[in-house]
Amino acid sequence: MHLDLADIDKIAYLARLAIAPEQRARYAADLGTILDLVAQMNAVETAGVEPMAHPLAMTQRMRPDVPTESNQRERFQAIAPLTEAGLYLVPKVID
């Protein structure tokens, strides 16, 4: 897709980007190449292709579900301003 310098100026304005005048031609070529690739990908027939979440059919390795740290609730709550029955008390923020 061919983009002229006016298109680049408009895109830069909408995106709130400052592009140096000498760089506008390079941006036009690069964006044109990207838009050509998007057009190519849109032209591919995908009606019979099943969607997939990931390109590799692999399962994740699972780690054992065991605690890796000791329970330090009393230590942490000892420095808290207010606690009650193992819970932190905070000021009410919604009426």
* Domain presence at residue 37: yes
Average pLDDT over residues 59-77: 90
Domain presence at residue 16: yes
Residue 31 sits in a domain whose CATH number is: 1.10.20
Q: Contact 32/39 with Cβ under 8 angstroms?
A: no
Name the pLDDT band for 8 (thresholds 50, 70, 90): very high
Q: Please state, in angstroms and rounded to a whole number, the distance separating the CA atoms of residues 72 and 70.
A: 6
- pTM confidence score: 0.52
Q: What's the domain count of the chain? A: 1
Task: Give a yes or no: residue 27 inside a domain.
Answer: yes
Assigned domain for 21 exists: yes
What would the two tokens of residue 8 be?
A: 């680049």
Whether pLDDT at 57 is above 80: no
- What percentage of the chain exceeds 90 in pLDDT? 73
Whether 76 maps to a domain, the answer reads no
How far apart are the C-alpha atoms of 73 and 20, rounded to whole Å? 57
Between 87 and 61, the more confident residue is 87
